[in-house]
Amino acid sequence: SARLLAESQFRFTAGVSHELRTPLTVIQGAVHNLLTGVVKQEAQRESYLRAIAKHAAQLGEMVDQILSYAGLRNQDWGAETGRGPVSLAVILADAVESAALELEEQGRSVDLNVPATLPGVRGDAISLRRVFWNLIGNALRHGEGEVSISAAGAGSMVEVRVADAGPGIPRAEIDQVFHPFFRGETARQGHTRGTGLGLSLVKETVEAMGGTVSVESSRKEGTAFTVRLPQYTA
């Protein structure tokens, strides 16, 4: 209905505004202090410039996710998914490589276990790369220890599991993790960056390709997301 559409648009706008405000405020404050001469020491100037660069990168990531979410329903999935098989081995390796710097900064590693005989899937390579980058990024932001990624054929589907050994997701929040703009209590208290759109993008993208995504989590034992995608058939 028109009312539900208006409410959805309001929540979207409110969520976007809230998530963009913090890094933008930091950047504006740092630029003001640099331009007005408040910052005089070279070490301070470098610190302010690093803060600007860091929060500008966060803004860029948020804008990318917002644009992806807003445009997802306009994607011509029929055309994209009919082009041929997509190799998840390549997609997963690319996603891990993209996370290399953050892994190094955190002193963490990825255990990637993908068999050479893994079947291809029907889907869009760029969108699937974003799916697994979001899942790996989620494990890096909220998890601990090694990130484990495994893949295997499962009947007519291909199953990929991304797991961490972090604090886990509270039972009260487990059904909400795929909701747009949802951020758990731990993320809010720890001021973890993010739009709350990453997992929503994962779910909608995977389901648009005929797949499913599920989550299992135990407090203090970690979280595992499982993506199941249809195998490619000519």
Q: Tell me: domain 2-74, CATH 1.10.540.10, correct? A: no
Alpha-carbon distance 141 to 102, whole Å? 10
Return the pLDDT at 90.
93
Q: Which residues contact 118 (CB under 8 A, 6 or more apart)?
A: 87, 88, 89, 151, 152, 153, 158
Q: Flag residues of the chain having pLDDT under 70.
A: 1-2, 4-16, 18-19, 65, 68-84, 181-196
Return the pLDDT at 104.
83
Residue pair 213/206 in contact by the 8 Å Cβ criterion: yes
Return the pLDDT at 148.
94
Return the pLDDT at 4.
58
Instruction: Locate the domains of the chain by residue range.
Output: 2-74, 81-230
Return the pLDDT at 16.
67
Return the pLDDT at 2.
67
Return the pLDDT at 63.
77
Query: Which H or E run contains 209?
Result: none
Return the pLDDT at 159.
96
Return the pLDDT at 76.
54
Return the pLDDT at 126.
83
- In the chain, the amino acid numbered 1 is S
CATH of domain 81-230: 3.30.565.10
Return the pLDDT at 183.
61
Return the pLDDT at 190.
46
